[in-house]
A = this chain, B = another copy of it.
């Protein structure tokens, strides 16, 4: 099943309000770390997988990329991208990642922010992305951290009577697969995978792992969103940079 929760009107409204607030974990945690992980983009061809409203696609152009193809399953997201981050060197494509097949010219870089946990078949995805890259090309993705997605019950932290967080809960780590949660609407589906599945899926299919990051928030972020301090206690995201070797 290819989930297109972003075209659900209730979800879309909730998500866009959050995003427009510029007060999200993406703004102060995931996006700064992803940007730090990018290579020199001058003259590079980039694919932005799960591009949403096109912020990362536009950023790559600003950093010198010669062409970006932004891909998203959601028509609502692509419509917004065409308004907010239109650029003559960006082509936005509305398609499930799984169905992509064009790629006349292979890419130097595929970047993907918090999208792969929506994809059911990771190995199929990695094989496909491998075929889209030039030899030596980079794949850089962020995903919800496996320690976050593991537990089936979404109650993930414990507190005492004073409201202090005592610890986070971990469980069901090896039970990979669907996790359903309420996020603006019921039934948002993510796929939990272990760290070893994420890593070996790359090293077994023609990628060399270059770096892993469990990002920490920016100082500005902690001032604005105090809960970001908790990233010291349990990481929300995992970023993996890998390179096509054969």
Contact = CB atoms under 8 A, between A and B. Distances in A.
Interface of A: 147, 151, 153, 158, 166-175, 194-196, 199-200, 203, 208-214, 216, 231-235
B203 A210 contact: yes
A231 B231 CA distance: 25
Among A172, A200, A234, the one with the most B-chain Cβ atoms within 10 Å of its Cβ is A234
A235 B167 contact: no
27 contacts: A147-B147, A147-B170, A147-B173, A151-B167, A153-B167, A158-B169, A168-B171, A169-B169, A170-B170, A171-B233, A171-B234, A172-B232, A173-B232, A173-B233, A173-B235, A174-B214, A174-B233, A174-B235, A194-B214, A194-B235, A195-B212, A195-B214, A196-B212, A196-B214, A199-B199, A203-B210, A209-B209
A166 B156 CA distance: 12
Contacts of A199: 199, 209, 211-212
Nearest to A165: B171
A174 B231 CA distance: 8
A239 to B, nearest CB: 9
Contacts of A208: 208-209
A213 B234 contact: no
Contacts of A194: 214, 235
A187 to B, nearest CB: 23
Contact of A168 (B170, B203, B233): B170
